[in-house]
């Protein structure tokens, strides 16, 4: 069966989570992704390190972000290594990078330089705050990008400090997912124009884009969302999490009137049927809901509520996520071939009927395919050895 991105060749210079997640998504759907990595020991950057040790093999096997990819180790500060990269660009479709703005230009691998070699090339830069603007040169991590993008400021409970989510919102959604989406758009656009283009992904931009709906009432009515004070972030008794008798947590999300009615009847709180959106009663109702929820375990509540039209689900801990029958039935836990045997990884999210995605093999060791790639380009063993001795390749 054909893959959606068969024939698309991607060169990935990125190191941290957003770029590798983006190229993992592309690889899962058939793109030919080659990691262009730092030579082990030549850089203090994350991603450079010893290779082909037992620990490195195990780390690669379980590194889902690197699955389905090849790896070549190049020192792009070396002229000979840059020439190798330029030759790879001639046959590539996409070049990704996640350096600070300006780095690729100093290395001579920016869009302007690469477009002269291959006018059809698409370049994609993923950075914290984008390539322009007063914050563009600032360092940061997910917590900083969700701060500027507005997501952290609406998360938490009233009167408490913001609750910090794991780095999903900026790194993976605002960064990696947005980048994969933009790359696919640029590939489609190239079919119309015949030319590639440069993509500028700022993770703070991506976070703010994810906040589009949240800002609707602010722009329209001047109403700002505060932590735990909005219907969808914990203010409502019917849209919140509650502790169960076994100490686990359970989520309720019964917003629509018919779902809400079923919830009230199951909980024995019919006195609140006519006052769903009476906010003056929300605090009182929350206290009563919390007391009732403490009378059963999370699994007991799930078994009961799933029989009725109630938007509800247990808050699954990681060990329960990967054994959950629904997640398993949806193919969201898979086994991937690796040098140490089959390993478990998270599966592919989008389900395409005609060209489904699938993980093919585990992540490579840094530079694992250097010789293979160079030989395919016409380099013989002696020339490769000379390049390696000079520190151009690894």
Residues with a catalytic annotation lie at 141, 171
Helix H or strand E encompassing 243: strand 239-243
Among 160, 311, 129, 279, residue whose Cα is nearest residue 228: 160
H-type alpha helices, the chain: 18-28, 54-62, 79-90, 103-107, 111-117, 142-148, 178-193, 203-210, 216-221, 257-267, 282-293, 298-305, 318-321, 325-329, 370-376, 381-389
The rounded distance, in Å, linking the Cα atoms of 224 and 243 is 29
The rounded distance, in Å, linking the Cα atoms of 45 and 14 is 11
Spatial strand order in the sheet of 239-243: 239-243, 249-253, 312-314
Among 39, 35, 47, residue whose Cα is nearest residue 11: 35
Contact in structure between 301 and 312 (CB atoms under 8 Å): yes
SS (H, E, C) 249-270: EEEEECCCHHHHHHHHHHHCCH
The rounded distance, in Å, linking the Cα atoms of 24 and 46 is 18
Among 362, 372, 360, residue whose Cα is nearest residue 56: 362
The rounded distance, in Å, linking the Cα atoms of 119 and 229 is 51
Contact in structure between 163 and 233 (CB atoms under 8 Å): no
Question: CA 240: distance to chain centroid?
Answer: 25
Q: What is the DSSP pairing of strand 94-97 with strand 122-127?
A: parallel
The rounded distance, in Å, linking the Cα atoms of 242 and 250 is 5
The rounded distance, in Å, linking the Cα atoms of 360 and 340 is 15
Residues 91, 180, 131, CA angle at the centre, nearest 5°?
A: 90
């Amino acid at each position: 069966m054909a893959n959606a991105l068969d024939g698309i060749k991607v060169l990935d210079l990125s190191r941290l989570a957003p770029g590798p997640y983006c190229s993992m998504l592309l690889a899962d759907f058939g793109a030919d992704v080659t990691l262009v990595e730092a030579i082990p020991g030549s850089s203090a950057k994350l991603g450079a390190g010893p290779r082909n040790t037992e620990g490195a093999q195990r780390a690669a096997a379980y590194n889902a972000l690197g699955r389905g990819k090849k790896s070549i180790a190049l020192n792009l500060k070396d002229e000979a290594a840059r020439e190798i990269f330029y030759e790879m660009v001639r046959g590539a479709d996409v070049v990704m990078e996640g350096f600070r703005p300006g780095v690729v230009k100093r290395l001579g691998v920016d869009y302007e330089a690469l477009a002269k070699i291959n006018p059809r090339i698409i370049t994609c830069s993923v950075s914290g705050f984008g390539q322009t603007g007063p914050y563009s040169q600032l360092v940061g991590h997910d917590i900083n990008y969700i701060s500027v993008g507005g997501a952290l400021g609406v998360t938490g409970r009233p009167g408490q400090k913001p609750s910090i989510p794991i780095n999903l919102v900026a790194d993976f959604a605002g960064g990696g997912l947005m980048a994969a989406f933009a790359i696919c758009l640029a590939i489609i656009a190239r079919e119309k124009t015949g030319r590639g283009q440069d993509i500028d992904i700022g993770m703070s931009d991506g976070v703010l884009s994810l906040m589009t709906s949240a800002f609707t009432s602010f722009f329209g009515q001047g109403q700002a969302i505060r932590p735990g004070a909005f219907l969808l972030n914990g203010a409502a008794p019917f849209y919140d999490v509650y502790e169960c008798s076994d100490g686990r947590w359970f989520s309720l999300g019964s917003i629509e009137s018919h779902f809400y009615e079923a919830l009230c009847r199951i909980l024995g709180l019919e006195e609140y049927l006519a006052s769903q959106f009476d906010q003056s009663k929300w605090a009182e109702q929350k206290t009563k809901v919390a007391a009732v929820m403490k009378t059963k375990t999370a699994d007991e509540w799930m078994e009961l509520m799933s029989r009725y039209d109630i938007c509800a689900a247990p808050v699954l801990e990681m060990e329960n996520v990967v054994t959950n029958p629904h997640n398993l039935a949806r193919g969201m836990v898979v086994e991937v071939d690796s040098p140490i045997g089959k390993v478990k990884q998270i599966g592919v999210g989008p389900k395409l009927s005609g060209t489904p995605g699938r993980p093919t093999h585990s992540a490579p060791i840094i530079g694992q395919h250097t010789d293979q790639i160079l030989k395919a380009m016409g380099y013989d063993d002696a020339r490769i050895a000379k390049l390696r001795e000079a520190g151009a390749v690894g």
